[in-house]
Each structure stands twice: as C-alpha cells, then as structure tokens.
Amino acid sequence: MGNLGKIIFNAVKKSYAVSADGVSKMPKSTKFDLKNPYILEALPEQKIDEFVKFDGKDLTTVCEALDNRQIRKGFDSGELQALYKKAFPNIKVPTDVNCDAMVYLGSLPESIGSKFDAHGLAKMSVTDQLKQLNNLLTNGIDKTRTFCTAPLVAPKGVGSGLGTSGSAYRDGSFILVGDKGKKLVDDGIKHVIVNDAYYNIISDLQRKFPDVNFVRADEAVNYFSKL
C-alpha cells in the first residue's frame, strides 16, 4: 500500500477547520467512513471494495495498518495445492501430526520463551492453517481486528487475560513469533515455528518469504536459546 494510509489521513484532516494556532480540529474519534468523499477520492480507483472491511473502524488505526502492512507475494492457489501434495503425498492428512511442538517446546526455559510474543495457528484444519499462514505472511496482521498473542512460554500464573491457556497454542501446524522483546502485532512476524505436518515444505516457505525465519519444532529450543 505504500503511504496510502498517510494520504488518506491527510485528506480527511484537510476537511476539518484549523484553529488559530494551526492545529486541526479533527476529532480523535474520527472513523474510516466510505461515505466520506475525501476518503473516496484518496482510494485507488476500482479497488474500493477492498476497503469495505475497514468501514467504521478508527481512522488512525486503519491508516497506520495500511502503511505498516508488509507487502509480499505469497503462494497462489495452484502453488498451495502443490505444497499440500508435497506435504501429504498420500493426499489424506495423517491423524498423528503436529505433536513435535507440544513435546519439544516443553523444554524451552521460561526465561527465554517469555521474551517472545507468539500466536499459534490452531482451531482450524491442517490445510486451512497453511492458507492462513500464507495470508498473514503475504498481507501482514490486520491491526484493525483482534489478534490474540501470548508468550511462547508463559511465566507461571499467566494466561487468564491472554485469550489462551497461557503460552501460545502449540497444537497447530505453525506458531508465529515476533522479534525478541517486541510485540507481534506491532512489529510483525519474524520467526515461524513449523510443526511436523509441514517439515518437508520448509524450504519452499523460506524461498517464498526470505525475510522470515522458519524453524522446525524439534529444533526450536536450540534456535531460540541462541537468539
């Protein structure tokens, strides 16, 4: 999106009067409103439908999300189908997959794991988890929607207010992890722990998204201990 967020924000800002000291009188609670002619004029032609999901959201939050979104070219539908065949040559997804993260991350020390903000892709089918990973790495995390995160390893007693049982979920195919000491939603996805269902497509993921570090779940303890 480039600096589209800034362009939209400045367009709306100009629609409000300026006080004697040069400060805009635009309310802090201003919403992203597709009926606003200033917003419509700032949007790319013939792509208005792509912004319907932002309608009614906080203007500042939407504009920041548009400018901070990482632009990458992800896998298309044909490439995803090829990845499924590579991961599951027998077509059917085995029932005993995605156990390694549960086993190996249990030995990651709290003093290390608590420094990494994370989000486990679970609660959906194994195939949908790859689609969701592709979407998040291609378009970035949508900051206008709730996106729950938790420590990779939560300190004891932490969890009731995180939307998870404490640590980030480990029973899915992927765990998204931020930089050490930084928030996943604010600073983006820096590492992805790949669970055993998709071990044999890690090289494909790494080639497609070279600025993200992909690590096998059974090697995650050593990997994060060195960071």
What distance separates the 2 farthest-apart alpha carbons in the chain? Answer: 72
First-to-final CA distance of the chain: 32
Q: Are 141 and 190 in contact (CB under 8 A)?
A: no
Q: Cα separation of 161 and 46, whole Å? A: 42
Nearest partner of 126 among 85, 86, 174, judged by Cα: 174
Q: What local confidence, expressed as pLDDT, does residue 160 receive?
A: 43
Q: Are 84 and 184 in contact (CB under 8 A)?
A: no
Structure tokens at 211: 């600025």
What pairs with residue 118 in β-bridges?
150, 177
Per residue of the chain (227 residues), give pLDDT as tens: 458 888 999 999 988 888 777 777 889 889 999 999 999 999 987 678 878 888 898 898 888 878 765 556 899 999 999 999 999 998 899 999 999 999 999 999 999 999 999 999 998 999 999 999 999 999 888 877 889 999 999 987 655 444 445 899 999 999 999 999 999 998 899 999 999 999 999 999 999 998 899 999 999 999 999 98
Q: Cα separation of 103 and 55, whole Å? A: 43
**Residues listed for the chain:** 227
What pairs with residue 216 in β-bridges?
194
Structure tokens at 15: 């629609």
Sequence-ordered list of residues with C-beta below 8 angstroms from that of 59, at least 6 positions apart, any chain = 8, 9, 12, 30, 31, 32
Structure tokens at 192: 């992805």
Q: Are 150 and 164 in contact (CB under 8 A)?
A: yes
pLDDT tens-digit series, residues 26-78: 898 899 999 999 999 999 876 788 788 888 988 988 888 787 655 568 999 99
Answer yes or no: pTM beyond 0.95. Answer: no
